[in-house]
């Protein structure tokens, strides 16, 4: 089986479903959920940055082949697999995907191993809103929603939907009100997969509990495919002073703020 350089791997099983999880680092746990098509070199590089910033990264393989480069055909293949899988509900507006139950279990396992006040989680694209739904029944206190793309924005209602159930939203409110949790969101302006209405809904739903970073697509990596979409991976320009680099730095500082052990 293909490895991710610099990471160890283990199998994690919950409710009869076993998946490979890549591990790196020490410190509070952060679950890194890859985007479509899978754990690409860009996703692995981001996860390494998180680990090297002082966190224990748990990166499950949900789709695709580890370290396979991004291509149009690979994206289409992985998206088709997600469409036919019972674990993903790509059009669900007021409920999350079944795979979130497994991710919650992983977060509980990671917290038991690493300790600290809670767990961080970042979802990207297809997995973006999973980090929000994980605030129910898991110790997730620092969710990052990077270009959250579910439900697919087909129709007005879907554009502002959060792919989360009322119970999951209520759990997020409780974590914010009683446990000091916050939610961080990242997107590019004009991204058709993550419309502005979704961030408007997050601001209306969570108020000061939500911090949204929206970036002009002219600051996206010009070598990456258009439209600008993947803030901390494919469309990142990793140079000081670049808005996407500032967004990456904010993700790392957000995890530090939310997951630092109490004095």
Return the CATH number at 139: 3.40.50.1820
Q: What is the pLDDT of residue 262?
A: 56
The reply to whether 222 falls in a domain is yes
Strands (E), the chain: 8-14, 17-24, 29-33, 56-60, 119-124, 140-146, 183-188, 210-215
Span 80-135, pLDDT tens digits: 999 899 999 999 999 999 999 999 999 999 999 999 999 999 999 999 999 999 99
pLDDT at 211 over 60: yes
The reply to whether 1 falls in a domain is no
Prediction pTM value: 0.97
The reply to whether 188 falls in a domain is yes
Which SS3 state, helix, strand or coil, does residue 8 take? strand
The string of DSSP codes covering 190-226 is: T-TTS-HHHHHHHHHHHGGGEEEEEE-GGGS-TTSPS
pLDDT at 260 over 90: no
Peptide bond into 89 cis (omega under 30): no
On whether the CB atoms of residues 214 and 188 are closer than 8 A, the answer is: yes
The reply to whether 97 falls in a domain is yes
pLDDT band at 158 (very low <50, low <70, confident <90, very high): very high
Domain that holds residue 104: 8-259
Average pLDDT over residues 243-252: 98
Span 13-51, pLDDT tens digits: 999 999 999 999 999 999 999 999 999 999 999 999 999
Nearby residues of 137 by Cβ (< 8 Å), 6 or more positions away? 104, 171
pLDDT at 197 over 60: yes
Partners of residue 8 on adjacent β-strands:
23
According to DSSP, residue 235 is labeled T
According to DSSP, residue 69 is labeled P
The reply to whether 3 falls in a domain is no
On whether the CB atoms of residues 141 and 181 are closer than 8 A, the answer is: yes
On whether the CB atoms of residues 61 and 67 are closer than 8 A, the answer is: no
pLDDT band at 263 (very low <50, low <70, confident <90, very high): very low
Q: What is the pLDDT of residue 1?
A: 62
Across all residues in the chain, what is the average pLDDT? 96
The per-residue b/e assignment along 28-41, b for 16 or more CB within 10 angstroms, e otherwise, is bbbbbbbbbbbbbe
- 89 vs 3: CA distance, rounded Å: 28
The total domain count for the chain is 1
The reply to whether 2 falls in a domain is no
The reply to whether 52 falls in a domain is yes
End-to-end CA distance of the chain, in Å? 42
The reply to whether 232 falls in a domain is yes
């Amino acid at each position: 089986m293909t490895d991710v350089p610099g990471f160890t791997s283990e199998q994690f099983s919950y409710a009869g479903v076993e998946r490979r999880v890549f591990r790196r680092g020490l410190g509070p746990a952060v679950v890194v959920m890859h985007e479509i098509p899978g754990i690409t070199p860009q996703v692995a590089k981001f996860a390494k940055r998180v680990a090297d910033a002082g966190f224990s990264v748990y990166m499950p393989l949900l789709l695709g082949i580890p370290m396979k480069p991004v291509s149009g055909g690979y994206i289409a293949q992985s998206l088709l697999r997600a469409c036919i899988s019972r674990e993903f509900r790509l059009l669900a507006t007021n409920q999350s995907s079944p795979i979130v139950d497994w991710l919650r279990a992983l977060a509980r396992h990671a917290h038991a191993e690493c300790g600290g006040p809670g767990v961080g989680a970042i979802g990207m694209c297809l997995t973006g809103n999973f980090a929000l739904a994980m605030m129910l029944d898991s110790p997730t206190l620092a969710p990052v929603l990077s270009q959250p793309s579910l439900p697919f924005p087909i129709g007005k209602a879907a554009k502002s939907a959060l792919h989360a159930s009322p119970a999951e939203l209520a759990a997020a409110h409780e974590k914010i009100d009683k446990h000091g949790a916050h939610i961080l969101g990242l997107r590019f302006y004009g991204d058709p997969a993550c419309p502005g209405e979704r961030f408007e809904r997050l601001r209306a739903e969570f108020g000061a509990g939500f911090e949204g970073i929206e970036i002009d697509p002219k600051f996206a990596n010009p070598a990456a495919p258009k439209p600008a979409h993947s803030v901390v991976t494919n469309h990142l320009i990793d140079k000081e002073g670049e808005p996407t680099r500032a967004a990456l730095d904010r993700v790392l500082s957000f995890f530090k703020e939310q997951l630092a052990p109490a004095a």
